[in-house]
Amino acid sequence: MKKGIFCISIDTELLWGRHDLRPQYREFIWRAEKERGVIKKILALFNKYKIDATWAIVGHLFLSNCNRKQSIKHPEIVRPKYNWLKGDWFSEDPCGNISKYPQWYGEDIVDEIRSHKNQEIGSHSFSHILFGLNGCTVKCAESEIKTCIRLAREKNIEMASFIFPRNLVGHFDILQKYGFRSFRGANVHWYSIIPYASGILAAIGLFIPVAPYVYIPRVIHGMVDIPASMYFVSARGLRRYIPQNTRFYKAKLGLDKAAKEKKVFHMWTHPADFVDNMDKLFLDFEKILKYAAKKRDRDGLEIKTMSAIADLYI
């Protein structure tokens, strides 16, 4: 790599990101209702600072409605067989429309993102099936990917980047078969060197601006692995006590490191992560974008989508 790169990926899920966590996912209904406003604010900031980003969208959000076929919800999807799953994977799918159930459908979100220049739309599977766990068979994974590709092509979108639900990787052969060229690999945490204390150190690490890891992408299974460097975390639970600017200082260290070492600093998040204490989080987020734009204009740091990074390798 001749220059450092800043990459942002955004996992866009609404309620699909937690529908298998029954019944706890219902506490996220009000958050999902606010995500459209969050997405508009993020896009406005991307326009302001000329930031290209990758939006990994759950395929069901391409729909504005869906219906049962012969009493079965989405019969085209081969169900996963997780030993912890009770009932049908789609049991929470309302099989209605976007007007009545806006937390489950997002065609307007897809169209909104597409209307903004240089925003990449990638895949986050069709229904947030966990590819990396036993129970997601080859047929299951392929049915998810085929459906995503079909829905995207109906909007003249060719997907090239894939982000695994819950970052659980698997079925690379299927992704490569359907033309995906990049994915977000798991990041290495500084506290992982002490496994027996990693949980405590991870909690402490939320409050300390330690420089994130930066990476040189590598080709694995015919795809470019662009590992995560930093999760822009929510303000839920313990995280509500993270001091103002801590997220910014962490990202600043990552951006400086990427520019100096000519590597990739890959930050990721979810729209739902902005909902709690939104004003505070957007202050930090805008500071990160502003600093990245400054590094781009002054020091030559590049800001690229995942697919644009993949273009450098394959």
Q: Are the C-beta atoms of 191 and 201 separated by less than 8 Å? A: yes
* Displacement of CA 93 from its chain's centroid (Å): 21
Q: Facing residues of 11 across strands?
A: 56
Residue 23: cis peptide before it, omega within 30 degrees of 0: yes
* pLDDT value at residue 115: 96
* pLDDT value at residue 46: 98
Q: Which CATH number do you get for residue 101?
A: 3.20.20.370
* pLDDT value at residue 290: 98
Length of the chain: 314
Ranges of residues in the chain with a pLDDT under 50 are none
Helices then strands, each counted (H, E), the chain: 8, 10
Residue 196 vs residues 181, 189, 192: alpha-carbon distances, Å: 36, 14, 9
* pLDDT value at residue 197: 53
Residues 18, 98: Cα–Cα separation, whole Å: 18
Residue 56 φ/ψ, nearest 5 degrees: -90, 110
- Number of domains present in the structure of the chain: 1
* pLDDT value at residue 23: 84
Taking each helix axis from N to C terminus, what angle separates 246-261 and 278-299, rounded to the nearest 10 degrees? 20
- Tokens encoding 4: 């450092």
* pLDDT value at residue 192: 59
Q: Are the C-beta atoms of 292 and 248 separated by less than 8 Å? A: no
In terms of residue numbers, what domain contains 112?
5-310
* pLDDT value at residue 195: 63
Contacts of 265 (CB under 8 A, 6+ apart): 4, 5, 6, 7, 212, 214, 229, 230, 251, 254, 255, 257, 258
Q: Are the C-beta atoms of 12 and 57 separated by less than 8 Å? A: yes
Q: What angle do CA 123, 126, 128 make, to 5 degrees?
A: 90
- Tokens encoding 100: 């009545």
pTM for the model: 0.95
* pLDDT value at residue 25: 87
Q: What angle do CA 165, 169, 173 make, to 5 degrees?
A: 115
> Where does 207-314 show beta strands of DSSP type E?
218-220, 223-225, 230-231, 264-269, 302-303
- Tokens encoding 29: 């209904």
* pLDDT value at residue 231: 97
